[in-house]
């Protein structure tokens, strides 16, 4: 069969890498892909959110299965458009994608379904939001309702920070219409983890647990990023806690989505805080996490094509996932200055030294080919990933591997996975 993967990051490189291992797959395309993806798939110059041209391409090329990486095309209705044409595509429709595209919608679903989450109030008026902040006092978390490229959540330690966040989001509209509403919620504390589950509308199967590192600097210092590294499994998620998360968070949401006539198909990602009162939901994403995917899929033994087909066919009850006992760690190498301004076009060396090294995978994110060289083209550049017999071993293997990689301004955290060892 022929597969199209939509997107261009480390998550998409990992998806292509895993899908390519299926015996059922003859050819993989990626739109638009990156330099690493181009080594194992054919990259097509169509943007990930250009639904109309993706549809043309899929029809012309007779693609059998389309797998969507990022949230924007899902929220834009790519699945609805493809399904109208009878095409097979992995991901939720636009109504389902509201679980990520509207934090207000996600909160309403959680409240109706009795899912544990932070207490909150929803505002359409900036002044009322500010008055509420003054009455409540800090710390508080201010969230823009809509998609804001991961920047729409402000954890405010002071009242002034929270008020400034409301002003930026609702009055200065720094995220456009995504800031028509804000959620102001209590600030939770605890350890975070990501639980991902395949859902077919009725049935669901969890993937292995993982945890990402959102801040740019060691010891969780500095601004939030798309994710500077990840590890799997996350020891904080004991089998008992996993059961509790499935029963109290994933199942009620899947059931509630069905109940409102919007059965959820695809991958559901729950960002969870393990508080002293138990697991509470921070957010939902309607797609694979990045860089969580880079540490989860290398541990998955089951054919991913088979699983995705079962999701589309509503047949997840016939699937059992099998996992390697190995741990996996991914260290993201980023461009100097990221998540602020950074330069592009820096030549990357050392990639060939890692080719063929057992248990090591270098997933490309912001890279492109330039006259036979591979150069940087984004903030997050590479996810250097390694398996190991336990987390400590995987940490050692991934740090040994990243030593080989060099580019001007390269930055990476030195403490990826350290939290998993302390516990």
Pick what 141 binds: ligand AMP, ligand GLY, none; C-beta below 5 to 8 Å, kind-dependent: ligand AMP
Nearer to ligand GLY, 109 or 296 (CB): 296
Instruction: Report the SS3 class of residue 156.
Output: strand
Annotate 247-316 with DSSP letters as a single string.
IIIIHHHHHHHHHTT---EEEEEEEEEEETTEEEEEEEESS--TTHHHHHGGGB-S-HHHHHHHHHHT-G
Is 225 an interacting residue with respect to ligand GLY (CB under 6 A)? no
* CA dist list (Å): 218 to 151, 271, 410: 20, 21, 15
Q: Say whether residue 192 binds ligand AMP (CB under 6 A).
A: yes
**Calpha distance 266→288 (Å, rounded):** 9
Tell whether residue 138 is a contact of ligand AMP (CB under 6 A): no
Instruction: Give the CB-nearest residue to ligand GLY.
Output: 289
* Beta strands 182-186 and 120-123, pairing class: antiparallel
Q: Are 3 and 66 in contact (CB under 8 A)?
A: yes
Residue in 292, 376, 386, 419 binding ligand GLY, rule: CB under 6 A: 292
Residue 81 touching ligand AMP (CB under 6 A): no
CA distance 74 to 70: 7
The interface with ligand AMP within residues 108-127 (CB under 6 A) comprises: 118
The residue from 206, 227, 383, 417 that contacts ligand GLY (CB under 6 A) is: 227
Looking at the Cβ atoms of 82 and 231, the one nearer to ligand AMP is 231
* Minimum distance, C-beta of residue 232 to ligand AMP, in the bound complex (Å): 17
| Among 212, 256, 303, 326, contact with ligand GLY (rule: CB under 6 A) | 212
Helix/strand/coil for 114: coil
User: Which of 64, 290, 303, 326 lies at the binding interface for ligand GLY (CB under 6 A)?
Assistant: 290
Structure tokens at 363: 């997933």
Contacts of residue 222, defined as CB under 8 A and 6 or more positions apart, other chains included, come to 215, 216
User: Binding of ligand AMP at residue 187 (CB under 6 A)?
Assistant: yes
φ, ψ (nearest 5 deg) of residue 308: -65, -35
- Return the range that interacts with ligand GLY (CB under 6 A); candidates 121-129, 282-290, 321-329, 394-402: 282-290
Q: Which of residues 241-270 bind ligand AMP (CB under 6 A)?
A: none
The site for ligand AMP (CB under 6 A) is made up of 118, 141, 153, 155, 185, 187-188, 192, 214, 271, 282-283
The site for ligand GLY (CB under 6 A) is made up of 212, 227, 285, 289-290, 292
């Amino acid at each position: 069969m022929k597969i199209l993967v939509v997107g261009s990051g480390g998550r998409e490189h990992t998806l292509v890498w895993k899908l390519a291992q299926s015996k059922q797959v003859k050819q993989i395309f990626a739109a638009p892909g990156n330099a690493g993806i181009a080594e194992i798939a054919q990259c097509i110059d169509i943007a990930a959110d250009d639904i109309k041209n993706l549809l043309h391409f899929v029809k012309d090329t007779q693609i059998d299965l389309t797998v969507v990486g990022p949230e924007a095309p899902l929220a834009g209705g790519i699945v609805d458009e493809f399904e109208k044409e009878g095409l097979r595509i992995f991901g939720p429709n636009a109504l389902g994608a509201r679980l990520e595209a509207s934090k207000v919608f996600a909160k309403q679903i959680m409240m109706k379904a009795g899912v544990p989450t932070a207490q909150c109030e929803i505002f359409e008026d900036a002044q009322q939001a500010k008055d509420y902040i003054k009455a409540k006092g800090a710390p508080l978390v201010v969230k823009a309702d809509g998609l804001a490229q991961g920047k729409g959540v402000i954890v405010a330690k002071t009242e002034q920070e929270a008020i400034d966040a409301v002003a930026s989001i609702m009055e200065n509209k720094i995220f456009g219409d995504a800031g028509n509403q804000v959620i102001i919620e209590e600030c939770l504390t605890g350890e975070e983890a990501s639980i991902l589950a395949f859902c077919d509308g009725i049935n669901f199967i969890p993937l292995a647990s993982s945890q990402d590192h959102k801040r740019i600097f060691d010891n969780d210092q500095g601004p939030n990023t798309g994710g500077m590294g990840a590890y799997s499994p996350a020891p904080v998620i004991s089998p008992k806690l996993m059961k509790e998360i499935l029963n109290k968070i994933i199942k009620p949401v899947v059931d509630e989505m069905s109940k409102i006539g919007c059965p959820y198909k695809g991958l559901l990602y729950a960002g969870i805080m393990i508080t002293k009162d138990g697991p509470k939901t921070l957010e939902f994403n309607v797609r694979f996490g990045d860089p969580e995917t880079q540490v989860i899929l290398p541990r998955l033994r089951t054919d991913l094509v088979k699983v995705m087909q079962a999701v589309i066919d509503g047949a997840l009850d016939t699937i059992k996932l099998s996992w390697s006992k190995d741990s996996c760690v991914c260290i993201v190498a980023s461009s100097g200055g990221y998540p602020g301004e950074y330069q592009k076009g820096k030549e990357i060396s050392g990639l060939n030294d890692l080719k063929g090294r057992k248990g090591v995978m270098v997933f490309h994110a912001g890279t492109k080919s330039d006259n036979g060289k591979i150069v940087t083209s984004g903030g997050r550049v590479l996810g250097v990933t390694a398996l190991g017999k336990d987390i400590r071993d995987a940490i050692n293997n991934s740090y040994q591997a990243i030593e080989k990689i060099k580019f001007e301004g390269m930055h990476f955290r030195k403490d990826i996975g350290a939290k998993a060892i302390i516990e």
